[in-house]
């Protein structure tokens, strides 16, 4: 991105949403300079598109606990927490010590199986009975990709169903109708269209991914009937994220389980984001519904690259070298990530810790609702476990992405920029992300976020 364009965006932001944007620009000249240089090396100046926002991203240099610091030495209370991956807290001492010991005494990558990976697998299976067997990978996207491949091999079918607005990784199988850019392209209210989110997605692959509405059993059964004996799996989060936080309605997941069994398709729960965040272990356990396959990520790596897919033993034994479903990876289950993950799960994510995180999340949700009402703003708030989200302009919680999409995104952006300018990252840099409470957040952190939001909300209703 050329300097000319950066200057144009800075001017646009500073003049279109004052005073929130002006203060942001004043606080972050160092990030702007780094962005100008980084844009000569990385497309958009970043290495993941979600890290980019207008006029430029904030470049961070360090974190500790619930705080991060940028190149301008600004301190922020962090409610993004690396999109839920760092909810143990930045530089959590227990994880730092585990990593230090592994690096200093054992090594980072040995090119062979290690006891560390086995220890983490045993701990995960103890906490999540649905994980009868599992395999580790390096990212949540890899985990969902392998889960879909496995489901297709087991069922000898090619098509899958996913939910509109749900993100399951950047691979061709599931990067369909993640965030359709225009409402007119989304398809009918009854059945969403299958829209590739990226250029370069083969049309033949996109046609194999069918799209349904979350919380809409009629829509899902319509697709199951229409494509009977062609669908391998239903892929969904038990609580939809990346559309804000959208909880399942009462009985929805149990009926989804029944439909999957009736039509002979596998039920895959993507718990990369919800696992150990929305619940003390896996979110599906909150609802008493067990999937055939499950994916995990983020928290289980303790801030290092680690994910997993697993499920019923009879299905997992289809993977090489026992079966014929290929799964490879040089860095899979590397002992550094396994050691960090084991420390995170056993030493940080206790039931008491998660209970406290959830209580702070409830406090934040209630506080945001109260200050919005006091300011005369209409908002809907959703919250499960340590996660939550705010929808400006909605008078009730959305049931699915289509309803969430109607929220006031421009007002969300003003709130988000305004919070950054006050030293608070309220959540990831898009309206469809969520907040996360970590094991190292305090009541004071939450109170500051509520107070800062209240100031902004009052300003919004005055102007």
pLDDT in tens, 323-362: 999 999 999 999 999 999 999 999 999 999 999 999 999 9
Lowest-pLDDT range, 102-116, 121-135, 179-193, 307-321? Answer: 179-193
**C-beta separation of 273 from 237 below 8 A:** yes
**What whole-number distance in Å separates Cα of residue 170 and Cα of residue 321?**
27
**What whole-number distance in Å separates Cα of residue 237 and Cα of residue 211?**
14
Backbone angles phi, psi at 135, to 5 degrees: -130, 140
Q: At what angle do helices 29-38 and 3-16 cross, to 10 degrees?
A: 150
Q: Name the maximum alpha-carbon separation found in the chain.
A: 66
Which residue is catalytic, options 159, 162, 273, 298? Answer: 298
Which residue is catalytic, options 78, 216, 270, 408? Answer: 270
Every domain of the chain and the residues it spans: 58-88+351-462, 93-348
Angle CA 294–332–303, to nearest 5: 75
Mean pLDDT of the region 162-167: 97
Cα–Cα nearest to 17, from 348, 434, 438, 411: 411
Where helices occur in 263-350 by DSSP H, the ranges are 313-316, 335-343
- The answer as to CATH 3.50.50.60 being correct for domain 93-348 is no
**C-beta separation of 302 from 341 below 8 A:** yes
Lowest-pLDDT range, 180-184, 225-229, 293-297, 402-406? Answer: 180-184
Question: In which band, very low, low, confident or very high, does the pLDDT at 184 lie, cut at 50, 70 and 90?
Answer: low
Q: Which CATH code, of 3.90.1150.10, 3.30.200.20, 3.20.20.140, 3.40.50.300, is assigned to 58-88+351-462?
A: 3.90.1150.10
Task: Give pLDDT, residue 316.
Answer: 98
Could you tell me whether strands 67-70 and 209-212 are parallel, antiparallel, or unpaired per DSSP bridges? unpaired
How close are the terminal C-alpha atoms of the chain, in Å?
33
Q: Answer whether residue 415 shows pLDDT above 80.
A: yes
**What whole-number distance in Å separates Cα of residue 218 and Cα of residue 406?**
22
Q: Answer whether residue 16 shows pLDDT above 70.
A: no
Task: Give pLDDT, residue 190.
Answer: 87
Q: Look up residue 107 and give its two tokens.
A: 């090594």
Q: Look up residue 259 and give its two tokens.
A: 């439909």
Could you tell me whether strands 387-392 and 67-70 are parallel, antiparallel, or unpaired per DSSP bridges? unpaired
Higher pLDDT, 3 or 442: 442
Mean pLDDT of the region 145-173: 98
With a pLDDT cut of 70, the percent of the chain lying above it is 95
Backbone angles phi, psi at 426, to 5 degrees: -70, -35
Question: In which band, very low, low, confident or very high, does the pLDDT at 154 lie, cut at 50, 70 and 90?
Answer: very high
**What whole-number distance in Å separates Cα of residue 59 and Cα of residue 42?**
14
Backbone angles phi, psi at 236, to 5 degrees: -155, 155
Task: Give pLDDT, residue 394.
Answer: 98
**What whole-number distance in Å separates Cα of residue 239 and Cα of residue 186?**
21
**C-beta separation of 293 from 311 below 8 A:** yes
Average pLDDT of the chain to the nearest whole number: 95
Q: Look up residue 134 and give its two tokens.
A: 């599992």
Please write the tens of the pLDDT for every residue from 370-393: 999 999 999 999 999 999 999 999
Angle CA 197–200–206, to nearest 5: 60
- pTM of the predicted structure, to 2 decimals: 0.94
Task: Give pLDDT, residue 249.
Answer: 98
Report the range out of 45-59, 179-193, 286-300 with the highest average pLDDT: 286-300
Task: Give pLDDT, residue 293.
Answer: 99
Task: Give pLDDT, residue 14.
Answer: 47
Query: What share of residues in the chain are helix, strand, coil (percent, to 5)?
Result: 45, 15, 40
- CB environment 443-456: b (16+ within 10 A), e (fewer): eebbeebbebbbeb
Tokens 């340590």 locate to 386
**C-beta separation of 375 from 451 below 8 A:** no
Does 298 qualify as catalytic in the annotation? yes
Q: At what angle do helices 443-462 and 409-421 cross, to 10 degrees?
A: 130
Does 167 qualify as catalytic in the annotation? yes
Q: Answer whether residue 318 shows pLDDT above 80.
A: yes
**C-beta separation of 283 from 239 below 8 A:** yes
Task: Give pLDDT, residue 179.
Answer: 81
Beta-bridge partner residues of 69: 62, 75
With a pLDDT cut of 90, the percent of the chain lying above it is 90
Q: Answer whether residue 2 shows pLDDT above 70.
A: no
Which residue is catalytic, options 52, 83, 146, 167? Answer: 167
Question: In which band, very low, low, confident or very high, does the pLDDT at 309 lie, cut at 50, 70 and 90?
Answer: very high
Q: Answer whether residue 65 shows pLDDT above 50.
A: yes
**What whole-number distance in Å separates Cα of residue 82 and Cα of residue 323?**
36
Question: In which band, very low, low, confident or very high, does the pLDDT at 20 lie, cut at 50, 70 and 90?
Answer: confident
């Amino acid at each position: 991105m050329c300097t000319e364009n950066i200057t144009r965006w800075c001017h646009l932001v500073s003049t279109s949403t004052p005073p929130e944007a002006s203060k942001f620009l004043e606080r972050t000249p160092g990030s702007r300079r780094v962005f100008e240089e980084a844009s000569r090396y990385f497309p958009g100046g970043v290495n993941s598109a979600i890290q980019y926002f207008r006029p430029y991203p904030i470049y961070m240099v360090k974190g500790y606990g619930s705080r991060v610091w940028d190149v301008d030495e600004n301190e922020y209370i962090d409610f993004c927490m690396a999109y839920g991956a760092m909810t143990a807290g930045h530089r959590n001492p227990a994880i730092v010590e585990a990593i230090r010991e592994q690096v200093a005494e054992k090594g980072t990558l040995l090119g062979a199986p290690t006891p560390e990976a086995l220890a983490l697998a045993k701990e995960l299976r103890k906490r999540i009975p649905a994980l009868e067997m599992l395999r580790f990978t390096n990212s949540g996207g890899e985990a969902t990709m392998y889960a879909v491949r496995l489901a297709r091999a087991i069922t000898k079918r090619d098509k899958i169903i996913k939910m509109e607005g749900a993100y399951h990784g950047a691979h061709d199988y599931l990067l369909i109708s993640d965030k359709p850019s225009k409402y007119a392209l989304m398809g009918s209210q009854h059945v969403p269209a299958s829209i590739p989110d990226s250029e370069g997605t083969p049309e033949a692959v996109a046609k194999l991914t069918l799209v349904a509405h979350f919380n809409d059993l009629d829509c899902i059964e319509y697709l199951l009937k229409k494509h009977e004996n062609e669908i391998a799996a239903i892929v969904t989060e038990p609580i939809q994220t990346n559309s804000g936080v959208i909880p399942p309605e009462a009985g929805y997941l149990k009926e989804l389980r029944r439909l999957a069994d009736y039509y002979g398709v596998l039920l895959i729960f993507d718990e990369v984001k919800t696992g150990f965040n929305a619940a003390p272990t896996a979110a599906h356990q909150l609802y008493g519904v067990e999937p055939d396959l499950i994916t995990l990520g983020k928290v289980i790596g303790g801030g290092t690259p680690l994910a997993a897919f697993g499920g019923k033993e009879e299905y997992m034994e289809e993977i090489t070298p026992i079966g014929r479903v290929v799964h490879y990876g040089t860095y899979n289950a590397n002992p550094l990530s396994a050691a960090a993950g084991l420390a995170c799960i056993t030493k940080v994510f206790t039931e008491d810790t998660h209970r406290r995180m959830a209580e702070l999340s409830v406090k934040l949700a209630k506080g945001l609702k109260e200050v919005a009402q006091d300011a005369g703003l209409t908002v809907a708030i959703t919250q499960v476990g340590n996660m939550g989200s705010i929808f400006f302009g909605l008078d009730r919680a959305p049931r699915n992405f289509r309803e969430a999409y109607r929220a006031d995104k421009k007002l969300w952006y003003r709130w988000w920029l305004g919070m950054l300018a006050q030293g608070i990252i309220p959540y990831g840099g898009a309206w469809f992300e969520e907040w996360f409470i970590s094991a190292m957040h305090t009541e004071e952190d939450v109170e500051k976020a509520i107070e800062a939001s209240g100031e902004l909300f009052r300003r919004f209703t005055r102007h």
